[in-house]
C-alpha cells in the first residue's frame, strides 16, 4: 500500500484512481490507512465476495493473495501483478503512463 | 489379524487418494481474470471523513483507470 502511496501523484497525473481492497472491516482499514499514511480509499470486502469473484482467495491465509490489477477506462484489465511481484508496482505505474491509457 | 490391518491400510490409502483432488481444488481460486478481460464490477464500503461510503468499480468507467490492489490483511505492511 505504501508503494502506491509513494507513486500516487504520478498515478493521479496519469488519470488513475488507486483502490486498496482487503477482507478487513472498513474500520480496521481506516485505522490501517491512518497508521501508514495512505490517502486513497481502502475498500472493505467483508465476507470476501469480491475477493472470490476475482479468483484470488487463498485458503492458506483465509484471505486474499497480494494481487494488483490495472483496469483501463474501458473496464478491461491491462496489467496484473501477483504475489511477490505485486510488492513493487513499477510495472503498473509505467503502464498508466502509456499514451493509450491516458485517453 | 494381519490381513485386516492390511485391508485397513489399503482402505485409508484409497480414501486419501480420493480426497486429494478435492483438497487441491479448494486450496486456491484458479479463475483469476486475465489481461484483456472485463474486470468484474463490485460495490464495496469504505470509511472516509467519518462516514461509511460505498463505491462501484463501474463509476470509473470512461473516466479513470483504476488500480485495484488486493492485500492480505491490514497491518501487514507493503
Confidence (pLDDT) at B61 = 97
Which triple of cell numbers denotes residue A73?
Answer: 477506462
Judge contact between B35 and A78, C-beta under 8 A: yes
Nearest CB to A73; choose among B26, B48, B61: B61
Domain ranges of chain B: 40-78
Question: Can you tell me the distance from the alpha carbon of A33 to that of A40, in angstroms, rounded to the nearest whole number?
Answer: 8
- Interface residue of B39, B70, B77, B78 to substitute, partner A, most A CBs within 10 Å: B70
Q: Which residues of B touch A11 (CB under 8 A)?
A: 67
The alpha carbon dihedral of A88, A92, A97, A99 has a sign of: positive
What is this model's ipTM?
Answer: 0.90
A30 against A84, higher pLDDT: A30
Domains contained in chain A, CATH given = 2-102 (3.40.30.10)
Number of inter-chain CB pairs under 8 A, A vs B: 185
What pTM, to 2 d.p., does this model score?
0.77
Question: Can you tell me the distance from the alpha carbon of B59 to that of B74, in angstroms, rounded to the nearest whole number?
Answer: 25
Question: Can you tell me the distance from the alpha carbon of A49 to that of A61, in angstroms, rounded to the nearest whole number?
Answer: 16
Task: List pLDDT tens digits, range B7-21.
Answer: 888 888 887 777 665
Percent of chain B with pLDDT over 90: 45
Q: B interface toward A at CB cutoff 8 Å?
A: 26-42, 44-48, 52, 55, 57-58, 60-75, 77-78
Amino acid at each position: 500500500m505504501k508503494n502506491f502511496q509513494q507513486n500516487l501523484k504520478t498515478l493521479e497525473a496519469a488519470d488513475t484512481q488507486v483502490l486498496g481492497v482487503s477482507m478487513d472491516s472498513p474500520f480496521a482499514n481506516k485505522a490501517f490507512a491512518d497508521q501508514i499514511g495512505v490517502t486513497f480509499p481502502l475498500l472493505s470486502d467483508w465476507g470476501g465476495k469480491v475477493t472470490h469473484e476475482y479468483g484470488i482467495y487463498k485458503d492458506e491465509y483465509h484471505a486474499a493473495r497480494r494481487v494488483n490489477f490495472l483496469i483501463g477506462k474501458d473496464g478491461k484489465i491491462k496489467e496484473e501483478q501477483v504475489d511477490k511481484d505485486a510488492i513493487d508496482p513499477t510495472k503498473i505505474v509505467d503502464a498508466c503512463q502509456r499514451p493509450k491509457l491516458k485517453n | 489379524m494381519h490381513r485386516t490391518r492390511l485391508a485397513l491400510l489399503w482402505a485409508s490409502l484409497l480414501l486419501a487418494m480420493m480426497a486429494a483432488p478435492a483438497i487441491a481444488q479448494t486450496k486456491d481460486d484458479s479463475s483469476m481474470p486475465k489481461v484483456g478481460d472485463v474486470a468484474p464490477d463490485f460495490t464495496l464500503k469504505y470509511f472516509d471523513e467519518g462516514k461509511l461510503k460505498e463505491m462501484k468499480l463501474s463509476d470509473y468507467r470512461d473516466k479513470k483507470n483504476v488500480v485495484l490492489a488486493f492485500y492480505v490483511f491490514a497491518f501487514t505492511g507493503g
